[in-house]
Chains A and B, each alone.
Chain A
């Protein structure tokens, strides 16, 4: 993908180009508005929120909602804020990303270089899995995990993320490995490399770019997951998204919109951070995930 436009930049502004810039600015405002509202709401106190325009900048900066969202906001009868959810999400995301990316890399490698009869049939089945609605699989999978004794535990949710991450990750690893020169693999075979040795000494050192893409995809995907965390993580490991929803949707008490918005920002910090530092890699991940044979 060539991301730099070719040809010279137009020299002078015509009416058309001014219109173009106006339109693009309007779009930008639409896209930025929720982020702006989120941030300024979190910096107001409740009196000002009730009295003033949602779009106005805060008259006085109030930071009290931030620590409250982090460590005191209530979900049901527990008032510990989002902090436990944050650490649960870390505990879920880190091993899930490592296991799913590692396993899918091996899958992709085996499919690209060590094809055996029937391998692509199962790969097809696996890809098909990417499109099955979670609702079809949630309950039976819950029964399977229950039988294995890992339902509502950390290993249980890690397994679930590994399963549901596998189709798309295996696909992008396979496509990446299939684009490597086959002679390299043949040379390694002649030198006596076996399945494990070639993977460790030849393939892994070349896998950095695709691994970065896969890690970005998985970190944002798993961090942002709600449904699987809700069903499989269990009460003690509830991820941040589930806690956020519980904090905001409490039925009783006075709604504190500034705390809600602080909590919302806190929850999206990790994926936004990943997005902003990874930039082009994130885009590449999207393009890679968008199944292209």
Chain B
């Protein structure tokens, strides 16, 4: 196979090779190099060492952004996993109208982040939204002013994000559940193991590859979160819901502070690598090693 003349194949893959090298690798190198300069409006090669990073870590706004991304990442990932798994288990109970429910749980995933953000912005509107509804129904104690509350606004973002993404986890988990051998279920019921126990202690560990895949995909998406927050809170109130991605975009396109933006984007990139590296190591190295043994 490998001895065929592969000129045509090389030519065909040339666009991919060029893009991988210039865009994916080239851009990281470019960003890193210019993160070491004091570029403002235009990129200049006036190197200042790691000053930009130093300044970045001293920014209160960056601290808030990092804190937000941790809260968002944690709540969103856990929320999606729990709700997604729960929905998959529910759907797997041979219920009536299965495909209808599946459609309902997955349709938000087809919507854009901007739409998701704008819809939830309206639903959570402090004057006309759900809070008002509850008041009209007589629950005057009910409070849902998350969007204008500095401490809670980030959780409103989490709710909108879980609403949008839980169906995705459900689909992955359901695929896993449907792949589980009927005999395992039979032996579990013969043993008399309670159903919820079988799910938590037997089935869930069997779905580990699915769970890991879901976590990695969700986590890689967490770092990118931008349009959802822009639409839902515009980073506010104040800068209470700003994220690293917003910090970067702001410094690129509004503040003309390129050096800062490059430094922040490189930190974003490094954090993605930290999330991915253990997984990639496991997926492509350990698994192959055990497979060949």
CB-defined contacts of B107 to chain A, threshold 8 Å:
31, 35, 272, 275-276
Does any Cβ of B come within 8 Å of A77's Cβ? no
CB-defined contacts of A34 to chain B, threshold 8 Å:
108, 119-120, 123, 163
Q: Report the minimum CB–CB distance from B263 to chain A (whole Å).
A: 11
Does any Cβ of B come within 8 Å of A21's Cβ? yes
Does any Cβ of A come within 8 Å of B115's Cβ? yes
Q: Report the minimum CB–CB distance from A28 to chain B (whole Å).
A: 5
Does any Cβ of B come within 8 Å of A61's Cβ? no
Kindly specify which of B18-26, B48-56, B200-208 makes contact with the partner chain.
B18-26
**Are A54 and B128 in contact (CB-based, < 8 A)?**
yes
Complex: A227 Cα to B16 Cα, angstroms? 23
**Are B20 and A54 in contact (CB-based, < 8 A)?**
no
CB-defined contacts of B6 to chain A, threshold 8 Å:
114-116
**Are A110 and B178 in contact (CB-based, < 8 A)?**
no
Kindly supply a per-residue 1/0 record for chain A positions 219-247, scoring 1 wherever the CB is within 8 Å of any chain B CB and 0 otherwise. Answer: 01001111100010000000001001100
CB-defined contacts of B139 to chain A, threshold 8 Å:
none
CB-defined contacts of A70 to chain B, threshold 8 Å:
none
Does any Cβ of B come within 8 Å of A194's Cβ? yes
Q: A133-B245, A133-B268, A286-B172 are in contact. Are A24 and B95 (CB under 8 A)?
A: yes
In the complex formed, the residue of A with least CB distance to B252 is: A139
Which of A31, A107, A163, A279 interacts with B12 by CB under 8 Å? A107
CB-defined contacts of A281 to chain B, threshold 8 Å:
none
Complex: A245 Cα to B119 Cα, angstroms? 11
| Chain B residues within CB distance 8 Å of chain A | 1-2, 4, 6, 8-10, 12-13, 15-17, 19-28, 30-31, 43, 83, 87, 90-95, 98-99, 101-115, 118-123, 125, 128-130, 132-133, 136-137, 163, 167-168, 171-172, 174-175, 178-179, 182, 213-214, 217, 220, 223-224, 226-227, 230-231, 234, 244-245, 248-249, 252-253, 258, 261-262, 264-266, 268-269, 272, 276, 283-284, 287
26 A-B pairs with CB atoms under 8 Å apart are: A1-B179, A23-B90, A31-B104, A31-B105, A37-B119, A53-B136, A107-B13, A107-B15, A110-B9, A116-B6, A126-B19, A132-B28, A135-B265, A139-B31, A140-B26, A140-B30, A231-B253, A248-B118, A264-B115, A268-B112, A268-B115, A271-B110, A282-B106, A283-B171, A286-B168, A290-B172
Q: Which 9 pairs from chain A and chain B are nearest by CB?
A: A224-B112, A114-B9, A195-B8, A129-B24, A275-B110, A140-B27, A125-B20, A226-B227, A116-B6
| Chain A residues within CB distance 8 Å of chain B | 1-3, 5-7, 9-10, 17, 20-21, 23-24, 27-28, 30-35, 37-38, 41, 49-50, 53-55, 103, 106-107, 109-111, 114-117, 119, 122-123, 125-126, 128-129, 131-141, 143-144, 163, 166, 170, 189, 194-196, 220, 223-227, 231, 241, 244-245, 248-249, 257, 260-261, 264, 267-268, 271-272, 274-276, 279, 282-283, 286-287, 290-293
